[in-house]
Amino acid sequence: MHTTPRHDNLIGGQWLAGGSYTPNINPSNLADVLGEYAQASAADLDAAVQAARAAFPVWSMSGIQARADALDAIGTEILARRDELGALLAREEGKTRVEGVGEVSRAGNIFKFFAGECLRLAGEVVPSVRPGIGVEITREPVGVVGIITPWNFPMAIPAWKIAPALAYGNCVVFKPADLVPGCAWELAEIISRSGIPAGVFNLVMGRGSVIGDPLVNHPGVDAISFTGSQGVGARIAQQCALSLKKVQLEMGGKNPQVILDDANLAQAVELSVQSAFYSTGQRCTASSRLIVTEGIYPQFVAAITARMATLKVGDALEAGTDIGPVSSLAQLEQDMRYVELGQAQGGQLVAGGDRLQRATEGFYMAPALLTDTTADMRINREEVFGPVASIIRVKGYDEALFEANNTPFGLSAGIATTSLKHATHFKRHSQAGMVMVNLPTAGVDYHVPFGGRKGSSYGPREQGRYAQEFFTTVKTAYIGI
């Protein structure tokens, strides 16, 4: 007899039981189990790919009005249920309720955006260099797309991959992160009632170590869209190269936030706290390196530590919580290890870094700030992915720009300055895919491209109209007149 609800996989339009189930545990309260979620086997995965393949011929030729209506209905329902789903997200992943509702709203708006994009896909008609011939350039769906997502944005990242995949006529096999199947299941349940034919969209929950390779290597899968860590991403790219699949990877960051002497101090502190510690620092766009010029350095350190003392770390669902728990024990241990490592390599811990006790047992951590760190320290080279930031002190703008780019990653970069000259120069010379002037490095719009350079991203950009680069393939047709 099960006391917690069981959630099955969606394969070929049927809700199918898993061979086993895993409990989904609230990181704010380890005694709170959201439900049990199916663990798929390689055979389940194969069934999902077969279902998607079978559905592709009809879906890829379906009318754009039907696709637009379905995506619009999905977006409408997500937005109507944003409070409920936002609370679920907070309970499952540990973002605060406000952040959870914000993420769900983003997911709803993404479906609405791509509902419109169904109607806007255009081609080109160009004259041939040869007389009497016409040339048409059109975009067609890629086929069956495997979508693999991380745990830190359990609603928005699936949305920004699934919505364009469906809008452009692809079929989907979706594998969410094992830590956060709850949001994925709710999203799948909404999609299953949207009028999209059986098999077009399939949800296969389970561990990457079990169904990751079978999905990536499946001959029935044409393309893989992945967001997650660099290590897993690089491995997937190798596998896709061997089987000649199209692949798109969004991976980690070590995003710099530059603060120049002429910055507005209060604004610089606020945006640094926002991007380093909100969402518990668990954002690929979080700024974990604060690069501060020496003229403002003492005031900045004093002001940011004072601001950090006001942050309320607590239960993600409680009103007034600024920073929710870390999402898992493994991540908490990694965060604490990096705080120790930063100190062992010469950094000074000036705030936080300790595990906190709250009314319920959870993975609570005080946001940590280290000063006196240098670019070569591991804490400044490797992604921590928690509420941990370090400060690098530099002489002036040129050194700040050099240090901002002195990283194997290139996702997002920010500068706080009142100088138009430096802001303009930084926008052009930053080696990041996204640049922010007087704004946090995290926090982006849903209708414009998202992605990075260097070790952060591989393949075409996600989101906005740029999503069609990955989710469509170009055909050039010649017509003799």
Residues 186-205 that bind ligand NAP (CB under 6 A): none
Residue 137 main-chain phi, psi, to 5 deg? -115, 120
Query: Which is closer to ligand NAP, CB of 56 or CB of 385?
Result: 385
Instruction: By CB under 6 A, tell whether 150 contacts ligand NAP.
Output: yes
Residue 259 main-chain phi, psi, to 5 deg? -125, 115
Q: Where are the beta strands (DSSP E) in 186-297?
A: 201-203, 223-227, 246-250, 255-259, 287-293
- Residue 266, token pair as written in the block: 């209060």
Give me the least distance between CB of 165 and ligand NAP, in Å please: 16
Give me the least distance between CB of 61 and ligand NAP, in Å please: 30
Q: Which residues pair with 223 in a beta bridge?
A: 145, 246
Active-site residue numbers? 250, 284
Binding string, residues 427-456; x marks residues near ligand NAP by CB under 6 A: -----------------------------x
Instruction: By CB under 6 A, tell whether 152 contacts ligand NAP.
Output: yes
Residue type, 47: A
Give me the least distance between CB of 453 and ligand NAP, in Å please: 11
Binding string, residues 122-141; x marks residues near ligand NAP by CB under 6 A: --------------------
- Residue 84, token pair as written in the block: 């409920």
Residues 269-308 that bind ligand NAP (CB under 6 A): 284
Instruction: By CB under 6 A, tell whether 214 contacts ligand NAP.
Output: no
Q: What is the largest CA-CA distance in the chain?
A: 79
Class of residue 33 by CB neighbours under 10 A (exposed 0-12, middle 13-18, buried 19+): middle
Taking CB under 6 A as the binding criterion, the range among 58-66, 130-138, 209-217, 471-479 that sits at the site for ligand NAP is 209-217
- Residue 195 is inside which H or E element, if any? none
- Residue 332, token pair as written in the block: 């908490």
Instruction: By CB under 6 A, tell whether 382 contacts ligand NAP.
Output: no
Tokens 């692809």 locate to 170
Among 110, 183, 251, 336, binds ligand NAP (CB under 6 A): 251
Among 177, 191, 268, 349, binds ligand NAP (CB under 6 A): 177
Task: Look at strands 33-39 and 6-7 and give their pairing.
Answer: parallel
Instruction: By CB under 6 A, tell whether 164 contacts ligand NAP.
Output: no
Query: Which is closer to ligand NAP, CB of 112 or CB of 283?
Result: 283
Neighbours of 30 (CB within 10 A): 14
Residue 380 main-chain phi, psi, to 5 deg? -100, 0
Q: Which residues bind ligand NAP (CB under 6 A)?
A: 148-153, 175, 177-179, 207-209, 212-213, 216, 227-229, 232, 236, 250-253, 284, 383, 385, 411, 456
